[in-house]
Amino acid sequence: MKQLFFAIVFLFAITVNAQLKSPAEFSQSYGKTASYYHQVENYFGHLVQNSEYIQHKSYGQTTQERSLNVYYISTPENLRDLENIRQNNLYQIGMADAKPAMVNDKVIVWLSFNVHGNEIGATESAMSVAYELINPENKDSKEWLENTIVILDPCLNPDGFSRYGNWLRDISGKNTHPGLNDREHMEPWPGGRENHYSYDLNRDWAWQTQIETQQRMVLYNEWMPMVHVDVHEMGFNEPYFFPPAAEPMHDFITDGQKDFYNAIGEMTAKKFDSEGWNYYTRERFDLFYPSYGDTYPTFNGAVGMTYEQGGIGAGRAITMNNGNLLTLQDRINHHTAAILTAVETASWQKDKLVKNFRAYFKDSREEPKGKYRTYIIKNTGKTDQLTRLLKRNKIQYAYAAESKKASGYNYQSDTTKDFTIEPNDLIVSVNQPKATLTQVLFEPAQKLTDSLSYDITAWALPHAYGIDSYALKGNLSIDTKKEISYKGKFDYERIYAYYVPWNGRASAKLLGLMLKSGIRVRSSRKASAFRGIKVSPGDLVILKGDNPQLQDFKNMMESLLDKKRDYEVVESGFSLEGGDLGGENYPLVATPKVLLLAGNSVSATDFGQVWFYMDEIVNYPVSIVEIQNLERVNLLEFNTIVLPDGWYSLPESDKKSIDTFIDNGGKVIAIANALSVFEDRPGYSLTKFATDEAKLLETTLSDNETLESRFYDFQNAERRALSGSVPGAIVENILDKSHPLSYGLGDKYFSLKTNDTHYQLLKNAWNVAYVPAKYKNFGFIGKSLKKKLENTVTFAVQQKGKGQIIYMVDNPLFRGFWENGNLLFSNALFLVD
Ligand SMILES: [Zn+2]
């Protein structure tokens, strides 16, 4: 009987395996053209149905309602014990309190594919990697899985992947076009690289502005992998890239992590050598900016790595500049070999990886690498959004429950100062599992081992959020509490007006919702005081007396204010200081009717940042029109036009209609290179130099550099080019605090400068935020640019005719994470009029 039972099981096992198909057996078009997203899901469904080595979990949905998936791949025994293995891993690093049942340690390897949607060789290879891991014929991979849990995410960006893949299918005929001259290699705007809102998800790991990232990071934090592989493609002529990465490396990266980069480099090189494939390591892809798929896991204790195959723009097949043909199948083959080698290396080095990973959390807590141990963020009403970010990153925090004197580094003045910690101030201590990540995000200055970086080099959260903050060198002993307490419900009969502080995106969103609901709202233009309430410029006041037209005013206000809990009520419009609520200092806010330009010659990511701001951050209606259709639009239906960063070459007729739009009372918000539309044109104040002498001075400086450069060698050309550039640094700006564009920002504005464009202070305009002489900066600014930025304007407003134009030299919405930038943009949209 027993024997018969085994025979049946054996037979069954054979039939199960016999049904397991490779991707090519499953789909005829595999390796020949892009898979549709549903085909990818179907294939993984097939694997799950026919193998005990793989399980599925859906972790969320994209904006376009595609499912986000991971697949757990390991031996059936390990998969049965998955929950214990997960709990044990968290427990060992201090991220779970309860000790689970005894389990054997496993190495946890997370494989992420296709965060950039048009890099399809990644998702296509995910199917091959999964198949090879579970294929019973592949005895090696079965051995690796004994001690390894693979978490495989075949596509981090299904919306972008589908945009590219569907397009490629749309335009493909029977024949491929290995030559360049076919639309197959010319992806249309906005391209599939980014997600629905044209956000680059591989710049979003730490900031988590996008729902794909937010949902993924919940699962990531439940697992905390030890190895993270981020699978990409790059320009199609490039040979394959695998670790080790390039300098600069952040100096918090440990020797243990670097050891593994080298081990994996050697193993992968051996594999590629034997196949005769071209590759390189260490020359590009540095490890500094913390919001990538390699650095972010690295600052979370893992060995985080980027893998790159040439393939962007390659379509189905292309001839490379060495004359070789590169097909989609080649891209799949290279990736599959490299990623399987990563799993193999992790399995081989399991003991070391597990040991190093646990030591990482213990050491970073006991001997933190940064300069400071405690960060105090003053309660200026702006901490709410910051705590959301901390929560998403599983960084623990508390609020002060008592007052205490202290001394520490003050971010805003860049000096050490005495100050008082007050109840409700936010406290973040490094003494927690996410010690390193906390320091990476909060340390005022990051140590750059090499200036040759292509991304931003500073991001300290107190500057990004524009909150008065301190960093203390020691631990702090103080009574704390978990929540800020707000006042309860107010008696409606006694309310004369509602008061809402203007201190962040929640204020702007609430204002947008009120305007959409037809509620009349006033914004303060002057500091004033009412009983128990100090009103600052920009703060919102909603008078009962303004809104008799709304039957349901009371209920509308109560439900709207539910999400903005620092609101107050005013019982009398009679001020103690400043002006009464009925007076001229509280003008009604006009309702913006917004037109946003898009299309070719607008930067897709920068367009996406404005679109996302309108749609998701303030949830306010916006009309999007592609530039070539501008003449079809009746501009009279709008009072605001936004021009995102781009490379504009507008026809004269379009420029004329924009001129007229402004003269008639319209408002234009122009960002970064969109300023070129107005530079040196009659009627506009925007010009690079204030005087002829200033122009001469900068020309002389540049001439001298050219003369000096006659003695330069060829080798360091790239490095020298950096001296005139700023890949991304924080730059101090002085504010005209009386102008509505600056309301709520604080005493100063720290701008994230990501381009070297600069204009001297403008004549006949309000220079609302400008870089002073001897300004402070954090992060790398090339030495020849540093001086030139003195006395240049960053945000200016010019009155023209009945309307105005807001010049934004820096993009305040860059990647959506500069929270004070979101507020500045809200000022431009709602308060400047
Ligand atoms: Zn990529």
3-state secondary structure 63-74: CCCCEEEEEEEC
Which residue carries 């005895």 as its tokens? 139
Q: Are 775 and 460 in contact (CB under 8 A)?
A: no
Residue with tokens 């968290």: 90
Burial of 526 from C-beta contacts in 10 A (0-12 / 13-18 / 19+) = middle
Q: Does an H or E element contain 107, and which? A: strand 107-113
762, 793 contact by CB (below 8 A): yes
Q: Residue 87 and residue 409: Cα distance in Å, rounded?
A: 38
Token pair 């919306």 in the structure block, residue: 159
Task: Collect the ranges in the chain with pLDDT lower than 50.
Answer: 1-2, 4-16
Q: Are strands 522-523 and 540-543 parallel, antiparallel or unpaired?
A: antiparallel
Q: How far is the CA of 233 from the centre of ligand 1 (A)?
A: 5
pLDDT at 716: 63
Please identify which residue in the block is written with the tokens 């623990």: 396
Of 700, 724, 730, 741, the closest CA to residue 830 belongs to 741
Q: Which of 813, 373, 389 is nearest to 612 (CA)?
A: 813
Phi, psi (deg, nearest 5) at residue 4:
-60, -45
What is the CA(192)–ligand 1 centre distance, in A? 11
Tokens 């009464």 label which residue?
580
One-letter identity of residue 191: G
Cα 118 to ligand 1 centroid, rounded to whole Å: 8
Q: Compute the Cα dihedral for 67, 73, 76, 82 and give only its sign.
A: negative
Residues 6+ apart with CB under 8 A from 271: 337, 338, 341
Alpha helices in 377-504 (DSSP H): 383-392, 435-442, 461-465
Measure 34 CA to ligand 1 centroid, in angstroms. 16
Reference 242, options 206, 268, 263, 277; nearest CA is: 268
Tell me the C-alpha to C-alpha distance, in Å, between residue 446 and each of 159, 292, 456, 543, 619: 34, 16, 11, 47, 35
Residue 42, φ and ψ in degrees, nearest 5 = -65, -40
C-alpha–C-alpha distance, residues 645 and 222, integer Å: 38
Distance 647 CA to ligand 1 centre (A): 23
Tokens in use for 69? 């998936």
C-alpha 201 to ligand 1 mean position (Å):
9
Angle subtended at Cα 418 by Cα 415 and Cα 420, rounded to the nearest 5 degrees: 130
Amino acid 702: pLDDT: 79
DSSP bridge partners of 730: 752, 778
Cα 195 to ligand 1 centre (Å): 12
What is the whole-number distance in angstroms between the Cα of residue 819 and the centre of ligand 1? 26
Q: Is the distance from CB of 573 to CB of 497 less than 8 angstroms?
A: yes
The pLDDT assigned to 450 comes to: 65
Give Cα 187 to chain centroid, integer Å: 24
Ligand 1 midpoint to CA 234 (Å): 6
> Residues within 5 Å of ion ligand 1 by Cβ?
116, 119, 232
330 Cα: distance to centroid of ligand 1 (angstroms): 18
Ligand 1 centroid to Cα of residue 232, in Å, is 4
Task: Specify burial of residue 721 (Cβ count, 10 A radius: 0-12, 13-18, 19+).
Answer: exposed
Backbone phi and psi for residue 707, each to the nearest 5 degrees, phi listed first:
-65, -45
What's residue 703's pLDDT?
82
Q: Which tokens hold the place of 831? A: 């308060």
Q: How far apart are the CA of 314 and the centre of ligand 1, in A? A: 14
Question: What distance in angstroms lies between residue 613's CA and the mean position of ligand 1's atoms?
Answer: 24
| Residues in contact with 350: Cβ distance below 8 Å, sequence separation at least 6, in sequence order | 105, 106, 107, 147, 148
745 closest CA partner among 679, 832, 666, 678: 832
Q: Which of 157, 200, 215, 357 has the alpha carbon at shortest distance from 292?
A: 200
Ligand 1 midpoint to CA 311 (Å): 10
**Bridge partners, residue 240, by sequence:** 279
Q: What is the CA(304)–ligand 1 centre distance, in A?
A: 15
The H-or-E segment that residue 163 falls in is: helix 158-171
Distance 577 CA to ligand 1 centre (A): 56
Residue 142 dihedral angles phi and psi, to the nearest 5°: -65, -35
**For residue 462, how far is its CA from the centre of ligand 1 (angstroms)?**
29
Tokens at residue 28, please? 């005829």
Element (H, E) at 367: none
d(CA 203, ligand 1 centre) in Å:
10
Provide the b/e sequence for 735-757 (b: ≥16 CB within 10 Å). Answer: beeebbbbbbbbebbbbbbbbeb
How do strand 533-535 and strand 528-530 relate by DSSP bridges? Answer: antiparallel
Residue with tokens 């992998």: 225
What spacing in Å lies between the alpha carbon of 303 and ligand 1's midpoint?
18
Q: Return the pLDDT at 103.
A: 79
The Å distance, Cα 116 to ligand 1 centre, comes to 5
Q: Helical H runs in 434-502?
A: 435-442, 461-465
Q: Can you give the pLDDT at residue 11? A: 46
Write down the pTM of the prediction. Answer: 0.95
692: Cα separation from own chain's centroid:
41
Gap from CA of 198 to ligand 1 centroid (Å): 14
| Ligand 1 mean position, distance from CA 193 (Å) | 8
In 3D, which of 363, 382, 485, 479 has the Cα closest to residue 430? 363
Neighbours of 486 (CB within 10 A): 10
Distance from Cα 584 to the centre of ligand 1, integer Å:
53
**pLDDT score, position 273:** 98
Q: State the pairing for strand pair 777-778/107-113.
A: unpaired
Distance, CA 308 to ligand 1 centroid (Å)?
Answer: 7
